[in-house]
Amino acid sequence: MTEKPAALIRQALSCYRKLPLMVRFHNYVRHKTCPFDRIEPWVPQEGMIYDLGCGHGLFSIYLALSSRTRRIVGSDSSEDKIAAAILASHTISNVEFRQANILNLPMEMCDAVIILDVLYLMNHEQQEKIIERCRKYLRPGGLLIVTATDTRPRWKYLWAYFQELLAVRLFRITTGYGLCFRPGGEFTSLFAKIGFEAHSEKIDRGYVYPHLLFICKKKIDVGVMGQKV
């Protein structure tokens, strides 16, 4: 990355300047509440990368601008959000957007899958299903990068829960099946069970949301014929 994160986020936000005010406002709030600059360095600098549940596509565009050797595919179930993402990214050649449910997006083998602040909208069974699906399409050694809302400190968790309750239930800004938060330790165990070596770190310093980042590397299994999978 040759440009500083602050310059890159300004460039990414400027892609939305001709879109409706509410889209621009939503993206402004999004970048102010999520530490993009603490997540991006973990993403491979090149290769095929999926951003599942990308919303209006701000982080996908940020990733594409950060490294032109990345090929980013962002997806979201909202037709309106994907339409905005497509309009915003029309001059950026290494990012594309597809409207699809996170559980059935057609995928190809890839180097990384990113899921930012999405899994809490699924029940435990759905969370496990999508993590298993990500592992299936990751190349050996590929990365699953997840952010989740930690349940500690308690005051940050309660604030985040209240905000998401408004977004999902009252204003319906976000579409989901409910609110299903897990403690960080449960996610670590889940990733290990499915076949990942998981590392986690708190990235919430300076933010009112208890962001927890998981870097999950796909374990290489050797099958009965000696093939790596």
**pLDDT at res. 184:** 83
Residue 36 lies in a domain: yes
Contacting residues for 83 by C-beta, under 8 A, at least 6 apart: none
Residue 65 lies in a domain: yes
pLDDT averaged per 10 residues in sequence order, the chain, 229 residues: 82 98 94 94 98 97 98 96 98 97 93 95 92 96 94 74 60 58 88 96 90 94 51
Q: Three-state SS for 3?
A: coil
Residue 23 lies in a domain: yes
Q: What is the pLDDT of residues 127-137, one digit of tens each?
A: 999 999 999 99
> The CATH number of the domain where 35 resides is what?
3.40.50.150
**pLDDT at res. 180:** 74
Q: Distance (Å, rounded) from C-alpha 182 to C-alpha 224?
A: 35
Q: Distance (Å, rounded) from C-alpha 229 to C-alpha 218?
A: 9
CA distances from 190 to 52, 101, 181, 225 (A): 19, 22, 13, 27
Strand order in the sheet with 196-202: 95-99, 70-76, 47-52, 110-116, 138-149, 211-218, 196-202
**pLDDT at res. 15:** 98
Q: What is residue 222's DSSP assignment?
A: B
**Structural domain count of the chain:** 1
Residue 228 lies in a domain: no
Q: Distance (Å, rounded) from C-alpha 128 to C-alpha 119?
A: 9
Q: Distance (Å, rounded) from C-alpha 36 to C-alpha 46?
A: 18
Q: Distance (Å, rounded) from C-alpha 34 to C-alpha 47?
A: 24
Residue 203 lies in a domain: yes
Closest CA to 71 of 104, 90, 97: 97
Residue 38 lies in a domain: yes
Residue 169 lies in a domain: yes
pTM of the full predicted structure? 0.89
**pLDDT at res. 165:** 61
Residue 224 lies in a domain: no
Q: What is the pLDDT of residues 99-124, one digit of tens each?
A: 999 988 999 999 999 999 999 888 89
Contacting residues for 182 by C-beta, under 8 A, at least 6 apart: 120, 124, 127, 148, 151, 190
**pLDDT at res. 154:** 75
Residue ranges making up the domain that contains 57: 5-95+108-218
**Residue found under tokens 């290769």:** 47
